Structure 1
Amino acid sequence: MTRAGMTLKRATIRAVVVPLRRPIIAGIGRFDQWPLVLVDLEMNDGIVGSSYLAPYRAAALPAIVAGLRDLLSGLEGRQVAPGDEFETATHEINVSGLSGISLIAASGIDMALWDALAKDAGLPLARLLGGTVGPVRAYNSNGLWRHTASALPGEARALIEDGGFTAVKLRLGNEHLRDDLAAIDAVRQGVGFDIDLMVDFNQALGLGDAIRRCHQLDEQNLYWFEEPIAYTNVRGYAQLSRSVRTPLQAGENFYGPTDLLTIMDSVAYAMGDLMRIGGVTGWMRTAGLAAAAGVQFSNHLYPEFASHLLRVTPTAHWLEWVDWAVPILATPLEPAAGTISAPDVPGAGLEWDERAVAKYAVQV
């Protein structure tokens, strides 16, 4: 007997702005709150596929919501599948460009449809994709922003203790080298030299300054230099990678597998952001490219989905742990012994705390 496919009954799009436990302070700006777009796709049999998008700026919420509603228009009452809808969406948005708001919206729909498909199959997303549910090595990315150095030792200790982590990320790119060195020293004072310390410049430096600064930091035993220069400067990454010993990390700002492919020859490590890379479908395609290039692949944000996807990624590297969506989740992930494990339940494991959603809801 052939099982009928999923038929979309109703799509619900909501927006919230939630508080952050620690403000984001980096070269990209300061954020004290975190905007999220919640996507819920209800099928005729009652299954609801869910996802969220995090566009950084609350001012971007109306455009993302409009993009979602545009791509979802006409889908109600039709059979839907993530692969089919992703191909349709990318065909439709091709005329305006396969990047930006359009691809972000397509990614949110794709993630929600994969969540629904896994629930329809009665399987965790990792198992639906051919893997298993289990621990993924993670680093804590919930702090160590560009504060004064005196605040960093205590915060570093708190991040390590908040789940038994053995790795944390520090943000650099201060105007003067001495301030970057002071920040590194402060973190080491707090947690010692046995932890892995990634550093992220958030594109703060020009190419020449990046070559000088990274040379000067090469002796600091740092795990990676993340985005020292503008992500669009692919030639600059190639030059920088030949100039320094510490491996480079980049990729979070690229849209779709083809864009991210352009950086693969210039970095040792890459990461994909699910709202830009094309959701689950885009991730799986990009993971194959990373594997073919021999580049270790990590996630950027979205740990709920990444904890599944990294279990089926051939060159899976680190999971970036952030708790920024936790305020509206009924069953948030819990770090343990420096790892994150997806819940062994059908789907991706997203469940909204509806009281919290109502509390933080904003109109768009």
Structure 2
Amino acid sequence: MVFEKLTFRSVTVRPVLVPLRRPVVSKVGLFDQWPIILIDLATEEGIVGRSYLEPYLKHSARYIVPAIHDLADARKGHAIRPSEDFQNGRRGLNLIGYEGVSMIAVSGLDMAAWDALAKAAGMPLAVLLGGSTGPVPAYNSNGLWLTDVHALGDDAQALVAEGGFKGLKLRLGRDRLADDLAAIEGVRAAVGADIKLMVDFNQGLSLGDALHRCHALDEQGLYWFEEPIAYNNLAGYVRLTRELKTPVQLGENFYGPRALHHALSIGAGDYVMPDLMRIGGVTGWMRASAIAGTAGVEMSTHLYPEYSAHLMRVTETAHWLEWQDWADPILAAPFEISDGLLTVPNRPGAGVEWNEDAVKRYRYD
């Protein structure tokens, strides 16, 4: 059945706290459970669009969920038009600022709206956006945290085996440079030199420390240096990008496409990797990808692999999909990886449905 339009009816928002197979140990904190906010956008025509948010902090649902409801209340009875809704949602929250909770709430509803439209059209999201289903290169980001250096080799082998991965994310930024070097050596010894190592400092270094550490690691053949310093120190990123041989990656903290444009316009990075929760959902991603494409800058993803895979199929400078299985416990049909590729499934929408038994098990308020 084809609908001329979809009409916004209501939204259901449910926070869950899911277990992680490998605890996150990084400069941003220690997590053995992961908070996810599930969004179900119901329409008068019976289609339900689904999305989720990963807000890092369990208690952040207390202020994100009300913001989503406020936006939803203003849309009841109106046609779902993601581009216009993106603009109106941002405008409606501009008095409290365009970043932070404002953009997160707008992004969550935007992703659910696009999922609903694709379902109504009977198409995968990638197809609705003008692309096709198919494979997307992915690297495994499920482990290699700031844990015991001596255990990283076994961890790396297991991560490669999970899906025939050709690339892994390794976290660096230990107190001693020697320990970071030992971590790189241990992983390489376990999986070989052909596996690409994307290293992430999780904003854990000052600019001075980053200059020292990254220069010292610049001959290690690493695939990129991700967020060595605080995300908003763009002047520092300009300097690092200019001085280092290893490409500099940033962008998961870009709030909206204009932030990406500003960073690229001043040379603050070689690669970008927007996060759907912050860049503005599907609408924000499409606008940001046009900017990156015009600049010829390769664009990777951050979190949300199911939705991000669709978007990579329509991104001119598509680079790498970051793979985490953190949402798998509450998905009815988790996506699969084979030979280092995630193949976008040929089913309507983003292909995400909830395992309601698991949702009940992990629900919290």
TM-score range, shorter chain: over 0.9
2:87 is the counterpart of 1:83 = no
Distance 1:209 1:102 in 2: 33
Matched residue, 1:141: 141
2:41 counterpart of 1:41 = yes
Match of 1:286 in 2: 288
Query: Structure 1: any 5+ residue segments left out of the alignment?
Result: none
Q: How far apart are residue 81 of structure 1 and its match?
A: 1.7
Q: Does 1:226 align with 2:226?
A: yes
Q: For 1:22-54, what per-residue CA distance to the aligned partner results, in whole angstroms no more than 9, with x for missing partners?
A: 011111111111001100011122111000000
Deviation of 1:346 (Å): 0.8
Contact 2:3 2:121 in 1 (8 A): no
SS of 1:6's partner is: coil
**1:182-197 equivalences in 2 (<5 Å):** 182-197=182-197
Report the secondary structure of 1:272's partner residue: coil
1:76 offset after TM fit, Å?
Answer: 2.4
CA contact (8 A) 2:273 2:300 kept: yes
Cα displacement (A) at 1:80: 1.8
Distance, in Å, in 1 between the alignment partners of 2:205 and 2:98 is 27
Q: In structure 2, what is the Cα distance between the partners aligned to 1:266 and 1:6?
A: 40
1:269 match = 271
Structure-2 change in CA distance of 1:208 and 1:74 (3 Å): closer
Question: Over residues 311-359 of structure 1, what are the superposed CA-to-partner deviations in whole Å (9 max), with x where a residue is unaligned?
Answer: 0000000000000100000011000110111211110001100000000
> Could you tell me the percent identity over the aligned residues?
56
1:204 deviates by: 1.0
- Distance in 2 separating the partners of 1:42 and 1:60: 24
Query: 5 Å matches for 1:152-301?
Result: 152-264=152-264, 265-301=267-303
Distance 1:326 1:17 in 2: 12
Aligned partner (choices 353, 356, 359) of residue 357 of structure 1 = 359
Task: Out of 77-86 and 244-253, give the one that drifted further.
Answer: 77-86
Q: 2:309 aligns with which of 307, 310, 314?
A: 307
Q: What is the one-letter code of the residue matched to 1:15?
A: P
Query: Which residue matches 1:13?
Result: 13
Given the superposition, is the C-alpha separation of residues 3 and 189 from structure 1 closer, same or farther in structure 2, using an over 3 Å criterion? Answer: closer
- Spell out, residue by residue over 1:152-175, the C-alpha distance to the aligned partner (whole angstroms, 9 max, x if none): 000000000000001001000111
1:102 Cα deviation (Å)? 1.0
CA distance in 1, matches of 2:258, 2:330: 33
2-structure distance, mates of 1:285, 1:293: 13
Question: Does the CA-based 8 Å contact 1:145-1:170 persist in structure 2?
Answer: yes
User: Quick one: which amino acid aligns to residue 276 of structure 2?
Assistant: L
Q: CA deviation at 1:75?
A: 2.3
Q: Where in structure 2 are there 5+ consecutive unaligned residues?
A: none
1:78 positional shift: 2.4
Alignment of 1:338-349 (within 5 A): 338-349=340-351
Distance 2:137 2:238 in 1: 28
Separation (CA, whole Å) in 1 of partners of 2:106 and 2:90: 8
Task: Tell me the residue number matched to 1:321.
Answer: 323
Match of 1:335 in 2: 337
Question: 1:26 matched to which residue of 2?
Answer: 26
Please state how far the C-alpha of 1:6 moved relative to its aligned partner: 0.4
Q: What CA deviation, in whole Å up to 9, does each residue of 1:2-37 have, x standing for no partner?
A: 953101222111110000010111111111110011
Partners of 2:304 and 2:352 in 1: how far apart?
A: 11
Contact 2:252 2:275 in 1 (8 A): yes
Q: CA deviation at 1:190?
A: 1.2
Code of the residue aligned with 2:134 in structure 1: it is G
TM-score of the two chains, using structure 2 as the length reference:
0.98
Contact 1:231 1:250 in 2 (8 A): yes
Q: Which consecutive aligned stretches of 4+ in structure 1 deviate over 3 angstroms post-superposition?
A: none
> Partners of 1:123 and 1:45 in 2: how far apart?
17
Equivalent runs, 1:57-76 vs 2, <5 Å: 57-76=57-76
